[in-house]
Chains A and B, each alone.
Chain A
Amino acid sequence: MSGEPALKYEKVFGRPESLKDNYTHYCPGCGHSIAHRLVAECIDELGLREKTIGVPPVGCAVLAYNYFNFDMIEAPHGRPLALATGIKRTVPDKFVFTYQGDGDLAAIGTAETIHAANRGERISTVFINNAIYGMTGGQMAPTTLLGQEATTTPGGRDARYHGQPIDISRMLAVCDGVVYIERCSLSGVKQIRSAKRAIKKAFRCQLDDLGFALVELLSPCPTNWKMSPKQAWEWVNKVMVNTYPLGVIKDTTGYED
């Protein structure tokens, strides 16, 4: 023995307890994996795992119950917030969140989204906006940008022909039942850290019984955008944010961040 001090190891990073030890089916560079991890970290840090009931969408995240390590229930396409309303009103002491894509939340489920938000349901929503329909193979989303190519917008989205991209977060902000909406991005380290802060804040709104809260996450979809993951990050940061500017859209929480 030479008298050198024994090496001490301290675990500084690991899998959140709220994530199962499973491989996901998400494509390389997809934002869902990052968003899942952020949600799981927030639930762990707030000590909510054993009282959480999550409602995933129909869309790429339909199998989220294979990845999240807490109770979950599938909803019909577009209906997570109606279903979550039934859960939360039945067991108000549980933590209930929905995780929804742009088609689910802002097209087929627009009515359920607006009315749950307007009722001020004590539910938190994580809204993944990737401006495309992923699971069905790249069709136009309600949030597809003008000029953006999708399999159902040959030549790019044309406002007169396909309609304008919808900014549902700004629409929801006018509802009195909504206490907090922020738009963040998953395309960069700084942005991801900001997204986690926003998700945790939205979760707190429910715990403090304030009202409805939503975090919109601009999320890369390299596969359907036909880009590399790096190009997809750049496209979010340089193009997508022009239609969907990042930042707080509504905040009546009174929280000091």
Chain B
Amino acid sequence: MPSEKVLMRGNHVLGEAAVLAGCRFYAGYPITPQNELPEYLSGRLPQVGGTFIQGESEIASINMIIGATAAGARAMTSSSSPGISLKQEGISYLAGMELPAVIANTMRGGPGLGNIAPSAADYFQATRGGGHGDYRTPVLAPSGCQELAEVTFLAFDIADKYRTPVMILGDGMMGQTMEPVVFPDPIDPKDLPRRDYILDGCKGREPRAIYSMILDINLMYQHNLKLLEKYEQITANETRWDTVGTDGAEIVVVAYGTAARIAESAIEELAGRGPKIGLFRPITLWPFPTKQLRSLSENVSKIAVFEFSAGQMLEDVIMSVGDRAEIYFYGVPGGIVPTPAEVAGFLSSVNSGDGKVGRRIEV
């Protein structure tokens, strides 16, 4: 049975959803604005026989979850932007060793130490690998607390199914916002399919080794091809997106996460005043719903991209849309969260072409 409806803030939703999804190991290092997540798990995980460790650093924490997942646990770490940079080496190892794990990034303004305000400036880092080597990380970008709960379950499932690290990409506003949530049915880790590659001692079988170093270039080449095939499967099977009112729309806004909710409010404000405006919301940022956005762009005249960054998802939109529709961009970096009225102003400018808010992107 799904849970009763409860009122929780995003960081707690993520923690509770992880536990209900069978996560039994968490390690992390404090960083604002996601501290409520480790604080929540420090009390919650021991209740279900799980382990919480406050690591001495983000680097130690990601390596602790490498060990935990290799030993068979559903494992998660979390951080905010600067801390996620420190975890990138470990994420690359997880990809190379083909180990499942979930990494949550509650994004804040950057680069450098930046600030602690909501931002979405880590899109490139999340979707382009971040760490070294030929690999991809599935990235899930929920919009609001209810979807955050559902996506957390999905993240662990994708991680296990494809033996890959998966990132949940939120922002400081989602982490702090309190909303009503109904959690999916809890998963008992004992009911999960047994992973036949974990390390639990070689009793009754040949010893196993988990590693990512492959010195033979032909074997490394084969390993890279195997990973590539996996990423193609993930693209084919796991691409997720949502649309609101795109049928018959002249303008379609492309936005994800918290920005998508602000865009939705802006669209509502403008309803009945001017052309019909729809919303296209990627839920997986990698794999990006390229084909879906491309086919949508055949039938609209203008695509309006809105994100909390100087223009990162914009590049995926340009690659998807090309010159099928005019592309406009309104990006607000630095941790500033525009109001629905400001985004409505952008959409009015897109409609009129007055160029007052946002800018036209020449492709």
Taking beta carbons and an 8 Å cutoff, which residues of A are in contact with B? 49-53, 55, 62-63, 65-66, 68-76, 79, 82-91, 94-95, 111-112, 114-115
| Bound: A115/B56 CA distance, A | 7
Closest chain-A Cβ to B130's Cβ sits at a distance in Å of 15
Contact B68 A71 (CB under 8 A): no
**Contact A71 B56, CB 8 Å, known A86-B64, A86-B75, A90-B25:** no
| Bound: A156/B129 CA distance, A | 41
The interface residues of chain A lying within 8 Å CB-to-CB of B70 are 73, 83, 86-87
| Bound: A91/B64 CA distance, A | 13
Q: How large is the interface on B (under 10, 10 to 19, 20 to 34, 35 or more residues)?
A: 35 or more
User: Whose C-beta in chain A lies nearest to the C-beta of B99?
Assistant: A73
Contact B66 A89 (CB under 8 A): no
The interface residues of chain B lying within 8 Å CB-to-CB of A55 are 67
Partner of A112, one of B51, B60, B202, B203: B60
| Bound: A40/B66 CA distance, A | 25
User: Whose C-beta in chain A lies nearest to the C-beta of B210?
Assistant: A73
Contact A83 B63 (CB under 8 A): yes
Q: Is B200 an interface residue (CB 8 A)?
A: yes
The interface residues of chain A lying within 8 Å CB-to-CB of B59 are 79, 82, 111-112
Q: Is B201 an interface residue (CB 8 A)?
A: yes
| Bound: A161/B213 CA distance, A | 34
Closest chain-A Cβ to B234's Cβ sits at a distance in Å of 24
**Contact A91 B72, CB 8 Å, known A50-B202, A75-B66:** yes
User: Whose C-beta in chain B lies nearest to the C-beta of A48?
Assistant: B201
Contact A69 B207 (CB under 8 A): yes
**Contact A71 B208, CB 8 Å, known A82-B59, A86-B25:** yes
Contact B63 A62 (CB under 8 A): no
**Contact A89 B201, CB 8 Å, known A73-B210, A111-B57:** no
User: Whose C-beta in chain B lies nearest to the C-beta of A65?
Assistant: B209
Contact A52 B201 (CB under 8 A): yes
Partner of A49, one of B25, B93, B202: B202
The interface residues of chain A lying within 8 Å CB-to-CB of B51 are 89-90
Closest chain-B Cβ to A98's Cβ sits at a distance in Å of 10
Contact B210 A82 (CB under 8 A): no
Q: Beyond A87-B67, A90-B73, list 17 extra A-B contacts (CB 8 Å).
A: A51-B203, A53-B199, A65-B207, A68-B207, A70-B202, A71-B200, A71-B201, A72-B199, A73-B199, A83-B70, A86-B65, A86-B70, A90-B51, A90-B71, A94-B200, A111-B56, A112-B59
Of B51, B73, B207, most buried by chain A (CB within 10 Å of CB) is B207
Nearest 7 Cβ contacts at the A-B interface: A86-B67, A74-B211, A82-B63, A65-B209, A86-B68, A50-B203, A86-B64
Contact B67 A90 (CB under 8 A): yes
Closest chain-A Cβ to B92's Cβ sits at a distance in Å of 9
**Contact A71 B209, CB 8 Å, known A82-B60, A87-B68:** yes
B contacts with A: majority SS = mixed
A-B contact count (CB 8 A): 133
| Bound: A207/B136 CA distance, A | 40
The interface residues of chain A lying within 8 Å CB-to-CB of B207 are 65, 68-72
Chain B 61-86, CB-CB to A under 8 Å as 1, else 0, gives: 10111111111110100000000000
Closest chain-B Cβ to A61's Cβ sits at a distance in Å of 12
Contact B200 A74 (CB under 8 A): no
User: Whose C-beta in chain B lies nearest to the C-beta of A86?
Assistant: B67
| Bound: A144/B63 CA distance, A | 28
| Bound: A74/B66 CA distance, A | 10
Contact B199 A85 (CB under 8 A): no
Q: Is B55 an interface residue (CB 8 A)?
A: yes
Contact B68 A115 (CB under 8 A): no
User: Whose C-beta in chain A lies nearest to the C-beta of B25?
Assistant: A90
The interface residues of chain A lying within 8 Å CB-to-CB of B68 are 86-87, 89-90
User: Whose C-beta in chain B lies nearest to the C-beta of A74?
Assistant: B211
| Bound: A112/B209 CA distance, A | 22
The interface residues of chain A lying within 8 Å CB-to-CB of B343 are none
Contact B203 A73 (CB under 8 A): no
The interface residues of chain A lying within 8 Å CB-to-CB of B27 are 86
The interface residues of chain B lying within 8 Å CB-to-CB of A94 are 71, 200-201
Contact A112 B53 (CB under 8 A): no
The interface residues of chain B lying within 8 Å CB-to-CB of A115 are 55-56, 60
Interface of chain B residues 190 through 207 with chain A (CB within 8 A)? 199-204, 207
Contact A86 B200 (CB under 8 A): no
User: Whose C-beta in chain B lies nearest to the C-beta of A63?
Assistant: B213
Q: Is B89 an interface residue (CB 8 A)?
A: yes
Q: Is B90 an interface residue (CB 8 A)?
A: yes
The interface residues of chain B lying within 8 Å CB-to-CB of A114 are 56
Q: Is B310 an interface residue (CB 8 A)?
A: no
**Contact A79 B203, CB 8 Å, known A73-B70, A86-B27:** no
The interface residues of chain B lying within 8 Å CB-to-CB of A84 are 67
Contact B60 A62 (CB under 8 A): no
Contact A76 B67 (CB under 8 A): no
Partner of A79, one of B60, B71, B204: B60
| Bound: A120/B89 CA distance, A | 26
| Bound: A83/B61 CA distance, A | 9
